[in-house]
């Protein structure tokens, strides 16, 4: 029976948490809270070589320093002892022992990870765990942009949010194209919401697991599995994590109205601007453009005219989020600043 680790990846607000809750209802699968520290480990340690004692200590220090690991149930000393006691480990062994410690009390034999940021790390993760499986869940970028805008994430303009979404789905698709169908699966959020059983059967078949109807009742214990962090942008694509419970719709049965929200609520200008930046990514994913036909040849001109403003606002965005919190709080009291931020959102 398949025991390979698996990763659920996708742009923020694309359904990664929903899919995680569903898969966690499976009797063999367990996905703990987002890790984020795997990127640090891959940056500082060799992907496949046997790790030295110094390497092992580096791994322990990096994991212990992670704010996300500190939210896990695993005790730091238990993690440290487990890595120290590994004999001639590779980085894969470090990944495995840490996740198995975290999921041990569930009694489930197979672990997965759901960290949206790893949507751009598929190549590196696969280099460490050569048999890993990747499930890329994607959502219409115009819905993602709307959701990010409502939360003040991912930038102040369609320019930033369209680049954010397009760059990441393109990265995942490019990485997936290098992998076999047994190692990479692309799942559309709209299918998961409108045809959940069919889509979950497809996911389970990909993972080599049996489908269980109980996976559709994810909302029954969702509150116990939603202690993840929200994401607050601070500089470009970097984030800091204030803790929260993001329950909302996730503690209720699926709502099909979550598909195509942009058609009902986004302005024509916002849609045009988004498509001028990320229209190519929409096309590659088979998502229909609002501005097609005679409009399509005009999109490069729209993008060209929009770029100066978008780049300027991106620079302001990065500058603002590099300011000390005290200054940001002081600026937030200025009427003009509040007005501009309100208009941006």
Q: What is the pTM of this model?
A: 0.88
Number of residues assigned to the chain: 345
Question: Which CATH code, of 3.20.20.70, 3.40.50.980, 2.120.10.30, 3.40.50.300, is assigned to 6-28+109-258?
Answer: 3.40.50.300
- CA dist 64 and 75 (Å) reads 9
Instruction: Specify the pairing of strand 29-30 against strand 184-188.
Output: unpaired
Buried b or exposed e, range 235-253, using 16+ CB within 10 angstroms: eebebeeeeeeeeeebeee
Residue whose tokens read 């799942």: 187
In contact, 271 and 262? CB cutoff 8 Å:
yes
In contact, 38 and 113? CB cutoff 8 Å:
yes
Tens digits of pLDDT across the chain (345 residues): 778 999 999 999 999 999 999 999 999 999 999 999 999 999 999 998 999 999 999 999 999 999 999 999 999 999 999 999 999 999 999 999 999 999 999 999 999 999 999 999 999 999 999 999 999 999 999 999 999 988 878 888 999 999 999 999 999 999 999 999 999 999 999 999 999 999 999 999 999 999 999 999 998 888 777 754 433 443 444 434 443 434 567 878 887 888 999 999 999 999 999 999 999 999 999 999 999 988 989 999 998 999 888 888 888 778 877 888 787 777 777 765 665 555 555
Distances in whole angstroms, Cα of residue 95 to Cα of each of 12, 83, 90, 228, 294:
23, 10, 9, 20, 51
In contact, 27 and 256? CB cutoff 8 Å:
no
Residue whose tokens read 């930038």: 155
Distances in whole angstroms, Cα of residue 16 to Cα of each of 13, 31, 246, 272:
7, 11, 13, 27
The closest of 100, 102, 113 to 10, measured between CA atoms, is: 113
DSSP 221: S
Question: 3-state DSSP call for residue 148?
Answer: helix
């Amino acid at each position: 029976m398949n025991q390979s680790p698996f990763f659920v990846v996708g742009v923020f607000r694309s359904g990664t948490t929903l899919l995680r809750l569903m898969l966690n209802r499976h009797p063999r699968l367990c996905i703990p809270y987002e890790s984020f520290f795997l990127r640090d480990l891959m940056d500082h340690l060799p992907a496949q070589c046997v790790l030295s004692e110094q390497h092992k200590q580096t791994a322990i220090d990096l994991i212990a320093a992670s704010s996300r690991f500190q939210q896990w149930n695993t005790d730091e000393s238990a993690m440290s002892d487990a890595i120290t006691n590994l004999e001639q480990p590779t980085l894969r062994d470090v990944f495995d022992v840490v996740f198995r410690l975290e999921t041990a009390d569930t009694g489930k034999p197979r672990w997965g990870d759901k960290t949206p940021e790893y949507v751009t790390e598929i190549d590196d993760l696969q280099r460490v765990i050569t048999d890993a499986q990747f499930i890329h869940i994607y959502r219409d970028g115009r819905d993602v942009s709307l959701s990010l805008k409502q939360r003040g994430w991912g930038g102040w303009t369609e320019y930033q949010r369209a680049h954010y979404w397009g760059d990441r789905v393109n990265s995942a698709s490019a990485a997936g194209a290098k992998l076999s169908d047994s190692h990479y699966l692309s799942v559309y959020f709209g299918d998961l919401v409108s045809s959940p059983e069919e889509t979950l059967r497809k996911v389970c078949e990909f993972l080599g697991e049996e489908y269980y109807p109980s996976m559709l009742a994810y909302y029954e214990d969702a509150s116990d599995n939603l202690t993840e962090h929200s994401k607050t942008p601070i500089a470009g694509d970097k984030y800091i994590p204030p803790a929260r419970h993001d329950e909302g719709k996730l503690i209720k049965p699926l709502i099909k109205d979550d598909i195509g929200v942009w058609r009902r609520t986004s302005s024509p200008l916002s849609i045009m601007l988004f498509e001028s930046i990320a229209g190519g990514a929409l096309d590659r994913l088979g998502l229909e453009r609002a501005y097609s036909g005679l409009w399509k040849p005009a999109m490069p001109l729209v993008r060209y005219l929009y770029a100066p403003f978008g780049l300027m606002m991106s620079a302001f965005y990065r500058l603002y989020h590099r300011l000390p919190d005290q200054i940001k709080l002081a600026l937030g009291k200025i009427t003009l600043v509040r007005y501009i931020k309100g208009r941006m959102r």
